[in-house]
Amino acid sequence: MIDAPVNEAERIYEVAAELFSLMSTPLRLRIISSLCNGQKSVGELLEEIPSSQPNMSQHLNQLYRAGVLARTRTGQSVIYRIQNERAAMLCRAVCTQIAIEMDDPEAVAPNERLMSPRH
């Protein structure tokens, strides 16, 4: 039996859900945010973001496999950089909007907020 082709709208939502799932971890958002300021080694990222080296490497690898990050080996170090600028822009847009809402909740109409009132 052949599966019916997924219509285009369903595929769009599937791809969007995969991207949101990839970015659903605070550590991955912090990694993307840090790399928006320029490429960094794992050690440099660990200086900025509290994590164990194995945990950091696991998350970097997931972002790399998904195509969000690129990496280059230089000697003993692996240097990471943003490869998918659109994914980085999505991360920045959402995090910036939430920061605005946290800083000045009255600046955004209740029906336009990303944050729930309990935050």
The pLDDT of residue 5: 57
CA distance 59 to 28: 6
How confident is the model over 66-86, as a mean pLDDT? 93
CA distance 24 to 49: 17
CA distance 43 to 52: 10
The pLDDT of residue 41: 95
The pLDDT of residue 96: 86
- Between 114 and 82, the more confident residue is 82
How confident is the model over 12-30, as a mean pLDDT? 89
Q: Give the domain ranges of the chain.
A: 12-84
The pLDDT of residue 1: 47
Q: Considering the entire predicted model, what is its pTM?
A: 0.80
Cβ atoms within 10 Å of 117's Cβ, excluding its own: 7
**pLDDT above 60: residue 43:** yes
Long-range own/partner contacts, residues 57-61 (CB < 8 A, 24 or more apart):
59/25, 59/27, 59/28, 59/31, 60/31
CATH class in words for 12-84:
mainly alpha
